[in-house]
Structure 1
Amino acid sequence: MSTPVKATRLLAARGARTHRKAWAAVFAALALTSLLLGSFALALSSAGLGHARVERYADAGLVVAGDQHTRFTAKPWGSDPETATAGLTERVRVPRAALGTLRDVPGVRAVVADEVFELGIEAGGKNTLATGRPWPAARLAPYGLRQGHAPRHPHEVVVGEGTARVGDRVPVRVSGTEATYRVTGVAEGPRAAAYFSAGEAHRLAGHPGSVAAIGVLADSGTSTATLRTRVRHALDEAGLRSVGRRADGDGARLRVLAGNGRGAAEFLAAAPARSGMLALLGSVSATVVLIALLVVASTVVQALRQRGHELGLLRAVGATPRQVRGAVGREVGRVAAVAGVVGAVAAVPAFLGLRALLDARGALPPGLTLPLPPWLLPAPLLTAGLTLLIARVAALIACARTGKVRPAEALREQAPGKARQITGFVLLFVGVSSAGTATLQHGEAAAAAAGAAAVVLVIGCALLGPWIAEGAMRVLGGPLRRFGGTSGRLAAANCAAAAPRSGAALTPIILVTAFITVQLSAGATMTHAAGDQARQAARADYALTAPGGLPATTLSRLEAVPGVRAATGITRGTVVLARRETGSPRLDRLPVLGATAEGLPRTLDPGVREGDLAELRPGTVAVGRDRARSMDLRPGSTVTLRFGDGVEARLRVVATYDRELALGAFLFSQEQLRRHTSSPGADRVLVAGDAEPRALRAAAPGARLEPNPAPEQLAPEDRALGEVVTVAAVGAIGAFTAIAVLSTLTLITIGRRPELSLLRLAGADRRQLRRMLGLEATATALTGLTIGTAVAALPLLAFTLSTTHSLPHLTPTQAALITLTVAATTATGTLPPARRALRGRYPGRGTH
């Protein structure tokens, strides 16, 4: 082994043993970095392997279903065509002609048509929402009978266990129509299920020319792979396609599902939720990596900065730059390797905790399975390697200047370079420009521009930390000297003389303040603005709902009730908007409302700006003001949309309105939206007037009457998922950056022990020094909070003014929590580490 290598190893081993406390802070930051990266890696991997659970079709070899995806292809400038894909949450149906085609396929033992529709069943004095199916489809699970016999006649039904008893007569409401059925049996499987004869189930589903899905049972000896190939070929030969006019050409092909893929025909929301979860976790993971780079780099740099004279001495006695870098790299490598493994091990329970939180909050749709196979558990070890790489890069950056200077100059204090200052100002300019761009955008584009602005501004402030600290002390130095006495003068002098040290302490405080403020305020502002709009739009005095929907005649009966001024039917659904973003194709799935136009402003006022909602009928649409502005739409324009079942329609715009955060970007006639939803009944009827509740109940028997109803308000499909992941990310990264604040300040205070000991020898007592440190901590926290708030306010203003047309909103509790967190971590990182230097009559040497 060569002498330089031996020297490098010796320096690294001695440095790691001598500076254990400094490396302990770095260890904590690196371990938490590895934990966060590992847990998000597991979450991304689990979501990538996720699939819809197979229940109703567990015994079917194959399931033929409509393609629950829509596609949009566009050609960006100077690039090959790209295709965007989005999941559909309304059922795409299969033509009944496919039944005959499948029966003729060799190897098929049986073909079973399935229907799935919502219904309300009244039993035991309770109205229960259940799923209706034909009894022959129960064999696909298979579900058998626990009691009684199968339905043989149209007015017989088999129910899930615990719903009703054999022989009971139960009212059943489907699509607003009600009939009484006799219970002939109790079935295995889910409780909220009702099985009818095949003909009755197809009649109740309301789609005479199609079925929901087809289960295929194979002959013994025929493999699933072979049968799947034969079925695919038979369907293509017959030219069978999904029901409805699709915009994406080949997307109209029927799908042949096998294995875990069969669950996609049962739980329609699982695939879109999985895609949204992947996108959300990817975005959050990218933010985590960026913040980890900033925090770890800051912590490692500060740990090595405390040893600047030591490294300079090594250069002065003849150590080469390569030996210095090698020794520091080995030190950091040893700490990072152990910290990475510890964080990787802890990532598994952290991920399981995130999974439990998602389940507890109901953030995942029914049927979505997120597997965690044993072979995936070592995945966090890969992120431990990434943590090691981040630490090594930070160490190289930290000792770069020490390695470059001449040995005779290495012991001097290195002032921040001019290049750093220029780069910081350039980044501030870029951040401000990005925030200005956000004011010209809408929705996700505005949020992305605002988020980019916040990150760039934080990095710019990190580079300009010494100059920010110097400027802050010019402002705070006067009050400290005037009102702080001797301790105040010492604090002002120390902060002014050690601007690089103060700047290093400011960086994590600015980061934690800006990041948490942006994350909390952006969501709180959107929720607050949407709630305000929903309350402003609410005009109804009553709302009526019923499991299985309300009959179409309900509106006319309610309008005839004395005292009723208006009654409006409301249906919820989704649309998919195909658009280009910087030339690339995008598909946005948006929640929308369908409403009857007569008397709509009296029950639900969207705040019309242009046009007239009285013209709202099939073939037309009303558009929210911001969406209309971004798409250059106005009354009389036409817009092409895809409904939740993938059917495309070209619609004429009849009005624009203000309250789109609460009511959605598009408002349809209820009749049109019903045609493209899996549940054709009205979701809700809003009533305005002072009618007697008894008269309203008589006009809508079986409906639930809600006086002073909650305002009608739409929310994104993945809102619950986004809230849970955001809260988890904010909590984890907030704790992460708080540890960074604590570590950085602890390292700074440890490095100041000789200085504090010298002040003791010069005559300063412990009370004066404690007060001095307290004033310094207060100045640091106040400066960090002020700059961090300013960094957060600029992109937040740009985002909220363009999206909600209001100022950012942050609850007093959240603001107080941020302030207390910064104050507590600043005080904890400053005062306790200084106890050794302040202890006793004659202080020690203050060594590290």
Structure 2
Amino acid sequence: MRVTTFLAARAARTHRRAWAAVFAALAVTSLLLGALALALASAGLGHPRVARYAAAPLVVAGDQHTRFTATPWGSEPRTAEAGLTERVRVPAAALGVVRKVPGVRAAVADAVFPVGRAGRAAVGRPWTAARLAPRAVRDGRAPRRAHEVVVGGAARVGARTVLRVRGIDTAYTVVGVADGPRDAVYFTEGEARRLAGHPGSLDAIGVLARPGVPTEELAARVRAALDAAGARSVGPRADGDAAGLRVLTGNGRGAAEFLDAGPARVGLLELLGSVAATVVLTALLVVSSTVVQALRQRAGELGLLRAVGATPRQVRGAVGKEVGRVAVGAALVGAVGAVPAYLALRGVLDARGALPAGLELPLPPWLWSAPLVGAVVTVLMARLAAVLAGAGAAKLRPAEALREAAPGTARKVTGLVLLLAGVSSAGTAALQSGAAAGAAAGAAAVTMVSACALLGPWIADGAMRVLGAPLQRFCGPAGHLAAANCRAAARRSGAALTPVVLVTAFIGVQLSAGATLTHAGAAQAQEALRAGLAVRADGGLPAGAMERIRGVPGVRAATDVVPGTVVLARRETGEPRLDRLLVLGVTPQRLTRTLDPGVREGTVRHLRPGTVAVGADRARSLDLRPGATVSLRFGDGAPARLRVVAVYERSLALGDFLFSRDELLRHGSRPDGARVLVTVAPGGDRTAVAAALAAAVPGARVETSPAPVRVAAEAQALTEVVTMAAVSVIGGCTVIAVLSTLSLIAFGRRPELRLLRLAGAGRRTVRRMLRLEAAALALTGLAVGAAVATVPLLAFSLGVARTVPHLPPVPAVVIVAVVAATTGAGTLLPARAVLRGRYPGSGATGG
């Protein structure tokens, strides 16, 4: 034990420069893993924010989940669950049941609906529900009559205001100003129920407890009373759904208010999980290659230890302790840096608006220890690399340490197997979509990079056979030396090649996967848009607005477009899956004049309630054609069996399904998201038509340059931010790995460079030789990395976007520049001391 401790301590002091490179790589790895651990832990604790029901210890709401049960092959039945983003309501009769429960001081009905107020969107509620927040009148009094309202923000008591609800303008008198949100409008209870438009049901019931009644006990009583009364969520549900009402307490109360937050949290966890898996694979490759290279440079020293009597166990122990000392310090430094890295990521997400409204990602004090998980994983990675390297070092004989051993056949076979596995697994990216497909492509790229790490010597040897002739022919003595060095030290060249391939392939896959989806979706959206104008209004368009719009002179066609969601239940290798999909509801009359989905089969003219149009990719995966039927669940969980009337191409922009607008609104709670796309007749004056539309539909806004319709534009913001953050940090990690590996190799080559100088090579010749070696390494790494990235990217882009991979010019130039700069710096900077020295016969400057 004392011998190994002594050897480890002496080696750590002697090889400080070599271990400094390893320290930097391990610190960045720990930082990245720690930030991801903090993000995953915070998302795992995430929940919808409690705002409107902060003063109510209990909230009774509809079941906002849908479930699907299936029996995998040779297993017990399993159930998948997905959140619903459309309101599932509570029957009004449940209010009387809750009020009779012992311990309930008050049960307050709540109904929330969109309101147009002074040209901006607002939220309407009954004033009785304001006590659930609680909100109080700051000026004036509560509303008592149907034509009276209390508003949030700045307003003058006694003023008249015109509010638009469900497309109808009505004048109200402001009788009070309430504290709280500026966009709130409070009505009397009866008026609010009338304006909400769903008589017989409520959005939620807030429950206030009597003094001294524990929340858990009261929740159990309310739950029992509702079950005894047979109270269920309003509307039909799919088989297997538990459609009973939910009694929410604590942080769960926010789920009754922010419907998008719960599903968004699940999506965020899945995204972070896929990124974390790719990061761990990448970090393992970076750490192992850096540690192994640091020990490989000392093969002579380790062989000498064996020659003077050190046992294999002592060598392994010394190597393990040496790596452990460096790893622990580096991991702790990275863990400290993980906290500001995570806070920076949160800042970017907030600045970009990538997180849905109402999603809370808490950071309790005990959660700040999460980066230690990343530190532990980093140390374990380093120790694993040390075990592998120490096992090889313990078997060294002194004679073997003096020469570079040829790579074995087992290494070659393993590399080929991994390469084939990576190529075959890249095809799974074609079966995924969006972020999942990008993560699958990244994982396939990492597998292929691992294969290239094992096959590095053979790749380097083959590359130098190709590049050797031009180097020798056109680059003089320096070219002869560079080609000879690379061929003679194929194992060393292969080790230097691995991180270059890694940084090229990984960043290329991650950037190109997202860019391909964005580019293809934007192109489809631009091709689909035929309209030159769009009409929308906060609070909805009035009844008969479509007829008035179509009757305006100069209007060729008009289409009402409403966004929504559906849930698709399916089996994947026998496992139940529920996919939440973004879709559109449209009016089919002359649809292709305003929004052309690129119909391949059938016709969208037959689109009406009970029918659906399907995107080509989804139709292929479900084996659907016009005339077939497909089973879906709407955003409120209601099941439907729909007849397919058309198959269309532009699903990346318009979503996987097109519905009749009326049917989608029947199962949706947010009609204020609609807009009418208008195409001007040939030869018509767009400005004049826009003015006529504004006059025909009072209170509406007319957009003269409507944005293309893209259902996933907002959903991709979160994926883009997380992907860019991962690419930036992992790109920095791999760049450090390139510099570390090349620096270690350059430190090990100092005796060789001194010998060249003693043999008469001048500084200029040696410097040019190193530059040519760096150029050959960068060119080979870029070529191999691009080839590695192309395989999964082709499977991903052809399967998901039906196009070739797309990478914007700026990121492509940045990748090439970073690789060139890091290979040049890693090769030339450590050799400065040798190049500055004067040696007999070498001359002052060399030649």
After TM superposition, the score normalised by the length of structure 2 is: 0.97
Q: CA deviation at 1:831?
A: 0.8
Question: What is the aligned partner in structure 2 of residue 201 from structure 1?
Answer: 192
Partners of 1:154 and 1:199 within 8 A in 2: yes
SS in 2 for 1:165: coil
* Alignment partner, residue 389 of structure 1: 380
Q: Which runs of structure 2 are paired with 1:427-576 in the superposition (5 Å)?
A: 427-436=418-427, 438-439=429-430, 447=438, 449-576=440-567
Structure-2 residue corresponding to 1:47: 43
The answer to whether 1:186 aligns with 2:161 is no
Shift of 1:443: 6.1
* 8 Å contact from structure 1 (residues 58, 141) kept in 2: yes
1:610-625 matched pairs, under 5 angstroms: 610-625=601-616
User: In 2, Cα distance between the equivalents of 1:644 and 1:160?
Assistant: 30
- Aligned partner of 1:348 among 321, 339, 349: 339
AA partner of residue 145 (structure 1): V
How much has 1:574 moved relative to structure 2? Answer: 0.6
In structure 2, C-alpha distance between the alignment counterparts of 1:784 and 1:328, rounded to whole Å: 30
Conserved? CA contact 2:302–2:396, under 8 Å: no
Where do residues 393-404 of structure 1 align in structure 2 (5 Å cutoff)? 393-404=384-395
- Matched residue SS, 1:768: helix
Structure 2 residue aligned with 1:15, among 6, 11, 23? 11
Q: 1:638, 1:651 within 8 Å by CA — same for their partners in 2?
A: yes
Inter-partner Cα distance in structure 1 for 2:623 and 2:347: 44
CA distance in 2, matches of 1:720, 1:192: 25
Secondary structure of the residue aligned to 2:242 is: helix
- 697, 700, 703: which one pairs with 2:697? 700
- 2:839 pairs with 1:842: yes
Counterparts of 1:309-320 in structure 2 under 5 Å? 309-320=300-311
- Find the aligned partners of 2:316 and 2:792 in 1 and give their Cα distance: 39
CA contact (8 A) 1:175 1:679 kept: no
Q: Deviations over 1:481-512 (max 9, x none)?
A: 11111111111111111011110111001001
The Cα of 1:447 is off from its aligned counterpart by 4.6
Shift of 1:375: 1.1
Indicate how the Cα distance of structure 1 residues 800 and 382 shifts in structure 2: closer, same or farther if over 3 A, else same: closer
- How far did residue 408 of structure 1 move? 5.6
Q: How far apart, CA to CA, are the structure 2 residues paired with 1:438 and 1:842?
A: 57
In 2, are the aligned partners of 1:276 and 1:718 still within 8 Å (CA)? no
Instruction: Tell me the SS of whatever aligns to 2:671.
Output: coil
The alpha-carbon deviation at position 61 of structure 1 amounts to 1.7
SS at match of 1:92: coil
Conservation of the 8 A alpha-carbon contact between 1:550 and 1:682: no
Q: Pick from 150, 158, 163: which aligns with 1:158?
A: 150
2:131 to 129, 139, 146: 139
User: What's the offset of the Cα at 1:607?
Assistant: 0.8
* 141-150 vs 229-238, which moves further: 141-150
For 2:423, the aligned partner's letter is: V
Q: Which amino acid aligns with 2:148?
A: E
Picking from 64, 73, 81, the partner of 2:69 is: 73
Amino acid of the structure 2 residue aligned with 1:36: L
The alpha-carbon deviation at position 514 of structure 1 amounts to: 0.4
Query: Which of these residues, 84, 90, 107, is aligned with residue 86 of structure 2?
Result: 90
Listed as ranges, the matches of 1:772-787 within 5 Å are 772-787=769-784
Unaligned runs of 5+ in 2: 841-847
How far does the alpha carbon of each residue in 1:121-171 deviate from its partner, in whole angstroms, 9 at most, with x for none?
11xxxx110110000000111100011111111121111112x32222222
Partner amino acid for 2:769?
M
Aligned to 1:58: 54
Indicate if the aligned counterparts of 1:446 and 1:802 stay in contact, CA closer than 8 A: no
Which of 191, 203, 228 pairs up with 2:219?
228
Taking structure 1 as reference, are residues 721 and 379 closer, same or farther at Cα in structure 2, changes over 3 Å only? same
2:266 is equivalent to residue 262 of structure 1: no
CA distance in 2, matches of 1:76, 1:322: 49
Q: How does 1:215-364 map to 2 (within 5 A)?
A: 215-364=206-355
| Contact 1:427–1:460 under 8 Å retained in 2 | yes
Give 1:579's aligned residue.
570
Indicate the SS of the match to 1:688.
strand
- State the shift of 1:623 in Å: 0.3
Q: Residue 129 of structure 1: which of 112, 121, 135 is its match?
A: 121
Shift in Å, 1:236: 0.4
Alpha-carbon deviation of 1:184? 1.2
**Structure 1 contact 606–657 (Cα < 8 Å) conserved:** yes
Residues in 1 aligned to 2:335 and 2:690: alpha-carbon distance in whole angstroms:
61
SS in 2 for 1:252: coil
**What does 1:704-783 correspond to in 2, within 5 Å?**
704-715=701-712, 718-783=715-780
CA gap 1:85/1:466 in 2 versus in 1, 3 angstroms: same
Take 1:225 and 1:614, find their aligned partners in 2: how far apart are those partners?
55
- Quote how far apart the aligned CAs of 1:214 are: 0.3
State the SS of the aligned residue for 2:567: strand
Alignment check: 8 A CA contact 2:25 2:736 kept? yes
Partners of 1:404 and 1:320 in 2: how far apart?
A: 10
Q: Determine the structure 2 residue equivalent to 1:30.
A: 26
Which deviates more, 229-238 or 532-541? 532-541
Partner of 1:846: none
Shift of 1:409: 4.4
Distance of 1:440 and 1:199 partners within structure 2: 51
The structural deviation recorded for 1:331 is 0.2
**Which position in structure 1 is the counterpart of 2:205?**
214
CA distance in 2, matches of 1:271, 1:73: 21
SS of corresponding position for 1:517: helix
- Percent of matched pairs sharing the same residue: 69
Structure 2 counterpart of 1:240, one-letter code:
A
Distance of 1:184 and 1:483 partners within structure 2: 89
- Superposed, 1:810-825 pairs within 5 Å as 810-825=807-822
Q: Residues of 1 paired with 2:428 and 2:268: CA distance?
A: 27
Using the alignment, how far apart are the partners of 1:47 and 1:597 within structure 2? Answer: 41
Of the structure 1 ranges 69-78 and 748-757, higher mean CA displacement relative to structure 2 is found in: 69-78
Query: CA 1:699–1:203 in 2, change beyond 3 Å: closer, same or farther?
Result: same
Aligned: 1:827 with 2:819: no
* Shift in Å, 1:297: 0.3
Task: Tell me which residue corresponds to 2:844.
Answer: none
Contact 1:576 1:589 (C-alpha < 8 Å) held by counterparts: yes
Kindly state the Cα deviation for residue 717 of structure 1 after the two structures are TM-superposed.
5.7
Aligned AA (2:31): L
Aligned residues: 834
> What are the superposed Cα offsets for residues 28-83 of structure 1, whole Å, 9 maximum, x if unpaired?
01111111111111111111111111111111121000111111111111122222
Cα shift at 1:709:
1.5
Q: Distance in 1 between matches of 2:547 and 2:241?
A: 43
CA apart distance, 1:242: 0.6
Secondary structure of 1:215 counterpart: strand
* SS in structure 2 of the partner of residue 656 of structure 1: strand
2:370 aligns with 379
Unaligned runs of 5+ in 1: 844-848
* Partner amino acid, structure 1, of 2:125: R
Question: Residues of 2 paired with 1:705 and 1:247: CA distance?
Answer: 40
Describe the superposition over 1:540-574 as per-residue Cα deviations: whole angstroms up to 9, x where unpaired.
12100111111241110111111211111111111
3-state secondary structure, aligned to 1:23 = helix
Distance in 1, Cα, partners of 2:106 & 2:250: 18
Secondary structure, counterpart of 1:328 in structure 2:
helix
Q: How large is the Cα RMSD of the aligned pairs?
A: 1.5
- How far does residue 693 in structure 1 lie from its aligned partner after superposition? 2.0
1:687-712 per-position Cα deviation (integer Å, ceiling 9, x unaligned): 11236222111111111111132211
CA distance in 2, matches of 1:709, 1:409: 72
Instruction: For 1:281 and 1:449, locate their aligned partners in 2 and report how far apart those are by CA, in whole Å.
Output: 13
User: Which amino acid is 1:208 matched to?
Assistant: P
Deviation at 1:585, TM superposition (A): 1.1
